[in-house]
Amino acid sequence: MILFFAFGLLASWARTDLEVPEAMSTAMAIFLLAAIGLKGGSEVAVAGLDQVWPVALAAICLGAVIPIIAFVVLTKVGRLDVINAAAVAGHYGSVSAVTFITGMSFLNQMGVPFEGYMVALLAMMESPAIIIAIVLARLAQARVGGVTAREKFSSGKLLREAFLGKSVLLLTGGLVIGYITGPKGMEQVVPFFDGMFRGILTLFMLDMGLLAGRRLADLKSAGLFLGAFGVLMPLVNAALGLMLGAAVGLSLGGVTLLTILAASSSYIAAPAAMRMALPAANPSLYLGASLGITFPFNIMVGIPLYYYLATLIYG
């Protein structure tokens, strides 16, 4: 899978005409999100909500803290304006489903077990960071008279985009259905979802490589700071996820996945929300950093690195 991602990057940089049709890319994304949602929901049913909620609460708090840290770094160190800083921060507080899925596949190949309900954290961490980042932008604008009091918290459309965007909706819907039907219900669809999962993920990684290669060029106008931020911020976030995962008692595999979630950055839910709530933000900055730098870094370097760091804690 990682080799197909690298192949997509090279094909994009070589300016070939290789591309995955948009309809096919959408269909593959729907399949992958539905598959992990269903499996995660059935695992939650097995584990029980009483075991899941403390970890989920900790993960949500982590997702809320990360965009605040990123916003401060981007405005104070990077000297970005508050709108672009908030847009980038929202991407880094939110999570990447594809990075998470790749991390799950990595652990499966390594034979490392993990808590099945970790998929629930993926769904729960996607939206809070987006909302907090936009609130930060509105508050900063209000301090300098940039928006009216009414505009500051016009939240109806924002909440709809953050919680009912297609990626969040598919994950949440799959979780609920998987939880209701339980393991017995999953038995009926295992041949379809499990049998095709790795093959479809491999083709999807090719598409992501092509897309990431195109977005990397967008960073030329952003300077060196945002490129460095795209590598260093995931490492800081990974350290937070690693410590939190160990503190709440997750297994080696569970800590690795929480670390991957913390280090990842969104490129599906967050861009859609930012386009609507912060239209003045420059997409080349937040997509260039998130998809052009952080996503390839996590896929090719970050995931094995985070696993190695987790093994140092667990011996």
Query: What is the residue-wise DSSP string for 235-294?
Result: HHHHHHHHHHHHHTT--HHHHHHHHHHHH---SSHHHHHHHHH-TTS-HHHHHIIIIIII
Assigned domain for 2 exists: no
More confident residue, 36 or 57: 57
Query: Does residue 247 surpass a pLDDT of 90?
Result: yes
Listed ranges 13-17, 85-89, 220-224; the one with the highest mean pLDDT: 85-89
- Residue 149: its pLDDT value, please? 45
Q: Is the dihedral of CA 192, 195, 24, 108 positive or negative?
A: positive
Reported pTM = 0.83
CATH (domain of 101)? 1.20.1530.20
**Residue at 129 is within a domain:** yes
In a domain, 13, yes or no: no
In 3D space, the residue among 48, 42, 64, 6 whose CA is nearest the CA of residue 208 turns out to be: 6
Please give the average per-residue pLDDT across 255-278, as a whole number: 87
* Cα(120)–Cα(43) distance, integer angstroms: 9
pLDDT band at 221 (very low <50, low <70, confident <90, very high): low
- Determine, yes or no, domain membership for 35: yes
Task: Specify if 137 maps to a domain.
Answer: yes
Residue 4 lies in a domain: no
Residue at 115 is within a domain: yes
CB atoms within 10 A of CB 168: 23
Specify the number of domains making up the chain: 1
Instruction: Give every CB contact of residue 132 below 8 A, 6+ residues apart in sequence.
Output: 64, 67, 68, 90, 93
Q: Which domain holds residue 66?
A: 21-145+153-314
Residues 6+ apart with CB under 8 A from 275: 283
Q: What is the pLDDT of residue 205?
A: 87
Count other C-beta atoms under 10 Å from residue 143's C-beta: 10
Q: 104-129: per-residue pLDDT in tens? A: 999 999 999 999 889 888 878 877 88
What is the token pair recorded at 59?
């993960």
pLDDT class of 99 with cuts at 50, 70, 90 = very high
pLDDT for the residue 250: 95
Tracing tokens 């997409």 back to the chain, one arrives at 283
Q: For residue 9, is it within any domain?
A: no
